[in-house]
Amino acid sequence: MTTTERPQNRRIDVMVPGPFAGPLSYQWQGPAPEPGMRVKAPLRNKTVVGVVVSSQPAEDSELTSLKPLVEVLDAVPLLDDALLKVAAWMGRYYLYDASSPYLLALPATLRKGEPAVTQQEPVLQLTVAGQHLEAEQLRGTKQREALKIMQARGPATATTLRQWGVERAHWQGLKKKRFVEEASSVTTARAPTGSLSSPPLALTEPQAHALHQLRDKAFNVVLVEGVTGSGKTEVYLQAMARTLAAGKRVLVLVPEIGLTPQTLSRFQQRFTDSLVALHSGLSDRQRHNAWMMACQGEASIVLGTRSAVLTPIPDLGLIVVDEEHDASYKQQDTLRYHARDVAVYRARQLNIPVMLGSATPSLESLHNAQQGRFHHALLPQRASGQKRQRIETIDMRAQTHEHGVSERLRHRIAQHLGSGHQVLLFLNRRGYAPSWFCGHCGWMADCPMCDARLTYHRGRHQLLCHHCGYQTPPVTTCPDCQSKDLLPLGAGTERAEEALTEWFPDIPILRFDRDTVSTEKRLHQQLERANQDGPAILVGTQMLAKGHHFERVTLVAIVDMDAGLFSADYRARERMGQLLVQVAGRAGRGELAGEVVLQSWHPDHPFFEPLLDQDYRRFAEQLLSERQRSGLPPYGFLACLRSDSAYPKQAEDLLGEMASTLLTQPGIRVFGPLPAILSRRAGKHRFILLVQSAKRSQLHSALEPLVRQYSRQQRHLSWHLDIDPLDLM
């Protein structure tokens, strides 16, 4: 082609935001944008930002009906080929808007069309004096720490320094003393080195075996199953070192709540390679910068929560998914994807290994291991050599109890505190009490908008609906029997805290739940307080079950776990078993041995049996054979259609109509429409339809036309599809 020839017209296919089943086509005359670049495109009477998925020469006749693009935004593709394939697969698999995975892969700033550049930040570096300074010559410990980090890792922007744990105040202090200065040049892509800033531990035999199973430079999945404290993280770190040393980068996924400063610093302390963190606590600007660092290869390790699975990372060589069973990996609205499954698909596209780790692997992953699709490595013991012990049960039927805490448990708590240790009290609920109840006739306060009990919150003296947010002051007269004997019923975090304060007035009580620990900073503070010397009681919900180390806890008491026994959701028992094992794992993590007690009204329930031995494997096998008998996942494939409407008949009829269509398809079974477990929420009536098939492909071919046929938002009615649902609420 000579330069005088006019540029050829092209048809550009673009994923634009909206409920479309595929890309929309536009025409363009300039230099052709490549797949993975962003463009501005007209859509109805607006201009939107979309991602190019293909571009080809076309005849004028074909193009006349197409609108021209407004602008090409990027000079290089932001999403690489493998990611484009992953996004395309997510569109087909989760049957949501085709464009949603492409847009999910981008930070909000780039979705709005901002330029894909790192905000120009000055780079900070050590002056010659700073390079030769002995850290001990500095007085402040923080500045000393900052100097050591900068000496070990070299120049960096303020953002990067913060990722390394150096706050603005620390480097500014050094700058005032002329040990740090601003450099003129900006560093960009840096090759991973794998060099270590702290030495690896000598692996135990099971750890070495787990690491050995992972093959580099090929797609393979290793499921590392090991109780908390068995040394999974050490295995990840050594697998990562191998990858980094080969010049490849690493993506580490952690659950929503697992990305604590403790986790971050553990990864940071091991490697000199740069690391960025991507999580929901970042502002749009911070996220933009961290994302750009990942995308441009400035970071060798990307540590992030769910949506980080779609971060572009050049030369990605390994994906680690920690706590792979965790429900926070599944997005519960719009595009209902599972980040673990997406990670595995992405690794397959890139032909790289994946390491999944958990103390309580999902039944899906265990099944994959049994089928030989995943390697399975077991870390049977704590790395420190401690044995797991049987969980002791307290039969509530045979005990006097107050505020949900039995006499026996109270004595036990006193013993442990008396020896100067800490006690962790786990409650499966937040709020002062689950309900507001009439002590005379048993009436309980319900949410007028939902089919749910209201929860009493003492701090606010309010009844609150945890489903729709409805609030009301507590009624003082029973509407059924006019009695004035109204009181909160059952145990809750606040109530237990109050009772404990009364029983142990001199002991600090640290509460961990979404009310008290609403931000990461608060969590950090609470964790720090928990790691101080002296007796203390830690009271909390789910938040306490996740990977935190509590060195000083010797007694873990599970106050109530019975609710999951009788749930209508077939997943509830799996979740409850995982939670029990995870919570029990908080006992005796330090030098001190630990005990676990479980209060229950049904201590003989066969479901508890393997769990009391902390034998998750046997528990999981029982559940798996139940699932196999009923053709439930992972032995069959399941999707859930949910509808809601102010008019129950409309919601039910829509699913009824869908059910009849689905039943004409081969290999499909449907259950429902049924009212959802939470059958009313925020004034809307909710129905579900379960769609089951022994073959994944049959499930998808039956659902796809249906999804395209009905619009998701209709007058007074909305519905959505959830593939591989995690709960049936």
Binding site for Zn ion (CB under 5 A): 438, 440-441, 443, 447, 449-450, 465, 467-468, 470, 478, 480-481, 483
- Pick from 230, 243, 260, 435 the residue near ligand ADP by CB under 6 A: 230
For the bound state, the minimum distance from the C-beta of residue 562 to ligand ADP, rounded and expressed in Å, comes to: 28
Is the sign of the CA dihedral 553, 559, 565, 570 positive or negative? negative
Rounded distance between C-alpha atoms, residue 558 and residue 564, angstroms: 13
For the bound state, the minimum distance from the C-beta of residue 450 to Zn ion, rounded and expressed in Å, comes to: 3
Please say which residue, 233 or 286, places its beta carbon nearer to ligand ADP.
Answer: 233
Instruction: Supply angle C-alpha 432, 565, 720, rounded to 5.
Output: 85
Chosen from Zn ion, ligand ADP, none, partner binding at 173 (C-beta under 5 to 8 Å by type): none
When asked if residue 196 is in the footprint of ligand ADP (CB under 6 A), the reply is no
Please say which residue, 130 or 231, places its beta carbon nearer to ligand ADP.
Answer: 231
- Pick from 204, 213, 268, 307 the residue near ligand ADP by CB under 6 A: 204
- Pick from 99, 118, 213, 228 the residue near ligand ADP by CB under 6 A: 228
CA dist 557 → 148, 433, 434, 608, 663 (Å): 42, 18, 19, 15, 48
Binding mask 208-227 for ligand ADP (x = CB under 6 A): ------------------x-
Chosen from Zn ion, ligand ADP, none, partner binding at 231 (C-beta under 5 to 8 Å by type): ligand ADP
For the bound state, the minimum distance from the C-beta of residue 353 to ligand ADP, rounded and expressed in Å, comes to: 18
Chosen from Zn ion, ligand ADP, none, partner binding at 135 (C-beta under 5 to 8 Å by type): none
Chosen from ligand ADP, Zn ion, none, partner binding at 383 (C-beta under 5 to 8 Å by type): ligand ADP
Concatenating the DSSP letter of every residue in 188-255 gives --------BSSPPPPPPHHHHHHHHHPPTTS-EEEEEEE-TTSSHHHHHHHHHHHHHHTT-EEEEE--
Whether 316 contacts 249, CB under 8 Å: yes
Instruction: Supply angle C-alpha 549, 299, 87, rounded to 5.
Output: 95
CA dist 483 → 438, 439, 448, 478 (Å): 7, 8, 21, 5
Classify each residue of 679-694 as buried b or exposed e, where b means 16 or more C-beta atoms within 10 Å of its C-beta: bbbeebbbbbbbbbbe
Q: Find tokens 């319900």 and name the residue.
A: 446
Please say which residue, 153 or 686, places its beta carbon nearer to Zn ion.
Answer: 686
When asked if residue 201 is in the footprint of ligand ADP (CB under 6 A), the reply is yes
For the bound state, the minimum distance from the C-beta of residue 364 to ligand ADP, rounded and expressed in Å, comes to: 20
- Pick from 229, 304, 490, 492 the residue near ligand ADP by CB under 6 A: 229
Chosen from ligand ADP, Zn ion, none, partner binding at 483 (C-beta under 5 to 8 Å by type): Zn ion
Whether 244 contacts 194, CB under 8 Å: yes
Span from 12-20, 52-60, 202-210, 591-599 in contact with ligand ADP (CB under 6 A): 202-210
Using CB under 6 A as the binding criterion, the count of chain residues that bind ligand ADP stands at 15
When asked if residue 679 is in the footprint of ligand ADP (CB under 6 A), the reply is no
Rounded distance between C-alpha atoms, residue 47 and residue 372, angstroms: 49
Q: How many separate helices (H) and strands (E) can be counted in the chain?
A: 22, 33
* 158: number of Cβ within 10 Å: 17
- Pick from 163, 213, 233, 599 the residue near ligand ADP by CB under 6 A: 233
* 135: number of Cβ within 10 Å: 14
When asked if residue 207 is in the footprint of ligand ADP (CB under 6 A), the reply is yes
Q: For residues 378-417, which are near ligand ADP according to CB under 6 A?
A: 383-384
For the bound state, the minimum distance from the C-beta of residue 338 to Zn ion, rounded and expressed in Å, comes to: 28
When asked if residue 55 is in the footprint of ligand ADP (CB under 6 A), the reply is no
Binding site for ligand ADP (CB under 6 A): 201-204, 207, 226, 228-234, 383-384
